[in-house]
Homo-oligomer: A and B are copies of this chain.
Amino acid sequence: MSSKNSSQLERLTFFSDAVFAIAITLLIIEVHVPHVASIDDATYWQALGELRSSLFGFALSFLVIGMLWMAHHRVFGMLADYSQKITWPNLLLLMTVAFMPFATALMSSNPRARVPELVYSGTLLVAGLLQNRLFTVALRAPYVRADVPAEEVTAARWRSWGLPTAATLSLIAAWYAPGWNNFLLVAISFLVRLYAAAGRRYALRVQAAAGA
């Protein structure tokens, strides 16, 4: 049974990886080659300058999907087996990831408009909450590999609050300063470390208290 389950887990992982990889690569097809009236340097540099919000959107979403994938990679690497209950949260997370090229293109089309920014930050918030839900279900006791320390499991679970926090901040800021709010997303990499460290410390304290 165990080898069957590990191969089924592998296939679920594989399918997820493929969706992440396709969504991350499809981002570029929303960056359109400019039509220029003449081919001199100044015209081209200006045309490329007008693409800056598309290029920024490509880079930002590439990094966000990349981080979502890396977190998925880290957590699924802790699993020995899997619960059928992760299938739906995983599929919904993938749906949000597949939606990202649209949300990115919408945001890039008018970088100072409020609604596209709300949609973009909202998509990240939904992705973050689904990721948190997925990791909570996936990291339950019987499914985690025996050699993974308990505090690392807690850290991985706490860590996944980083994206929802940053997305919420960005969503609120989008209301007041659309376009600029995206810069709050750089906080993700800081927040995930902070939450992971807090979770690890909490778990170790609980373990120490239980041992005492």
List residues of A whose CB falls within 8 A of some B CB.
Answer: 1, 4, 7-8, 11-15, 17-31, 33-34, 36, 39, 41, 44-45, 48, 58-59, 62-63, 66, 69-70, 73, 76-77, 87, 91, 94-95, 98-99, 101-102, 105-106, 109-110, 112-116, 119, 145, 147
Closest Cβ of chain B to A25, distance in Å, is 4
Q: List 27 A-B contacts (CB under 8 A).
A: A4-B77, A4-B145, A8-B77, A12-B73, A14-B14, A15-B73, A22-B22, A23-B28, A26-B26, A28-B98, A28-B102, A29-B29, A29-B101, A31-B102, A33-B105, A34-B106, A36-B110, A36-B113, A39-B112, A44-B114, A44-B116, A62-B95, A62-B98, A63-B91, A66-B91, A66-B95, A70-B91
Interchain CB contact (< 8 A) of A77 among B11, B34, B36, B44: B11
Name the B residues within 8 Å of A45 (CB-CB).
115
* Separation of A17 and B28 alpha carbons in the complex (Å): 17
Taken together, the copies of this chain in the complex come to 4
Considering the chains assembled together, what is the distance between the CA atoms of A98 and B1 in angstroms?
33
Q: Tell me the complex Cα distance, A28–B30, Å.
A: 11
The answer to whether residues A98 and B24 also contact, given A17-B15, A115-B41 and a CB cut-off of 8 A, is yes
Does B105 contact A58, Cβ atoms closer than 8 Å?
Answer: no
Residue of B nearest to A108 (CB): B33
Rounded to whole Å, the gap between the CB of A178 and the closest CB of chain B is: 9
Q: Which residue of B lies closest to A25 (CB)?
A: B22
Q: Are B114 and A25 in contact (CB under 8 A)?
A: no
